[in-house]
């Protein structure tokens, strides 16, 4: 346990030194401050509200239901987290894993009485914790500010944030595998971005299939959809959770989890065999 905690703490230190952590914290704080200072919600007769941002009415002076306003705002934050947030997280954290494999650093780590599996998992958990801590700060900050201003507390927003962290955990296994194979932060970032970009395309597999004349490309698209992590679908699940609608299929969640387990296991296996 001492060893794993040391690895997690070391990842935090590196993220502090690279200003990754502070950059994220600054962006999150700015967003929270917008909600805290610029967003003005006047409650009228309890359930109705007039909303203004930077003094400008966003509903042209009409009264709207508080619940609807809060859901829209939280939906906006959730969408931000699932799109730009994920890209930023991958971009910011991709270097944290490959740096461990730098010559002169890895030899000393491997000489310690710690298994290679634990070394790599410790770094993976550290990176995940850096991003999760920042996401938790942003999500809780916005949730508390909006809750305090409106009296409406949407617990489903927290669930949607947890889903975002899960999604990042899945993508991070790709970063880990590519980093172990190539020791290149740039390549690890590129491959992770590829999976993020291709996800919304593959999510349309049912619409894409008829565009092909032959069967095999349809099978490939279908196969890739089920094989790859379903970031886009999980974003949809997060949206549905927010508007309190039931989820029609859990396939995106468990198939992405299965993908992460296989990718992580492959990364650990390659690392355990590799010469440094």
Residues 247-276 that bind another protein (CB under 8 A): 273, 275-276
Task: Name the residue nearer to another protein (CB basis): 5 or 30.
Answer: 5
The answer to whether 42 contacts another protein (rule: CB under 8 A) is: no
CB atoms within 10 A of CB 76: 11
Residues 3-32 that bind another protein (CB under 8 A): 3, 5-7, 9-10, 13-14, 16-18
Least separation, in Å, of the C-beta of 180 and another protein?
15
Identify the CA nearest to 162 among candidates 69, 241, 272.
Answer: 241
Task: Name the residue nearer to another protein (CB basis): 111 or 213.
Answer: 111
| Helix, coil or strand: residue 94 | coil
Residues 80-99 that bind another protein (CB under 8 A): 99
Taken in order 17, 20, 25, 27, the sign of the CA dihedral is positive
Query: At a CB cut-off of 8 Å and minimum separation 6, what does 92 contact?
Result: 15, 20, 23, 24, 131
The answer to whether 109 contacts another protein (rule: CB under 8 A) is: yes
Task: Name the residue nearer to another protein (CB basis): 129 or 158.
Answer: 129
Query: At a CB cut-off of 8 Å and minimum separation 6, what does 213 contact?
Result: none
The answer to whether 110 contacts another protein (rule: CB under 8 A) is: yes
The answer to whether 113 contacts another protein (rule: CB under 8 A) is: yes
Least separation, in Å, of the C-beta of 273 and another protein?
7
Q: How far apart are the first and last CA of the chain?
A: 25
């Amino acid at each position: 346990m001492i060893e794993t905690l040391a690895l997690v703490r070391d990842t935090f230190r590196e993220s502090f030194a690279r200003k990754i952590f502070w950059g994220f914290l600054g962006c999150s704080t700015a967003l929270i401050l917008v909600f805290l200072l610029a967003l003005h919600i006047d409650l009228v007769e309890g359930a109705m509200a007039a909303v203004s941002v930077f003094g400008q009415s966003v509903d042209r002076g009409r009264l709207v239901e508080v619940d609807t306003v809060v859901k829209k705002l939280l939906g906006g934050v959730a969408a931000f987290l699932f799109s730009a947030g994920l890209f930023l997280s991958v971009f910011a954290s991709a270097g944290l894993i490959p740096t461990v494999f730098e010559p002169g650093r890895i030899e000393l780590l491997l000489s310690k009485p710690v298994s290679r599996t634990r070394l790599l998992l410790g770094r993976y958990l550290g990176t995940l914790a850096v991003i999760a801590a920042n996401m938790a700060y942003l999500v809780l900050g916005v949730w508390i500010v909006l809750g305090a201003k409106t009296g409406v507390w949407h617990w489903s927003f927290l669930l949607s944030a947890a889903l975002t962290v899960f999604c990042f955990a899945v993508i991070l296994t790709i970063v880990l595998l590519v980093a172990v194979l190539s020791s290149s932060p740039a390549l690890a970032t590129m491959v992770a971005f590829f999976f993020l970009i291709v996800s919304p395309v593959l999510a349309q597999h049912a619409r894409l299939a008829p565009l092909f004349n032959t069967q095999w490309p349809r099978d490939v698209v279908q196969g890739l959809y089920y094989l790859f992590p379903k970031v886009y679908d999980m974003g949809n699940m997060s949206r549905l959770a927010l508007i309190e609608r039931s989820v029609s299929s859990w396939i995106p969640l468990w198939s992405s989890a299965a993908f992460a387990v296989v990718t992580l296991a492959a990364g650990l296996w390659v690392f355990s065999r590799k010469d440094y």
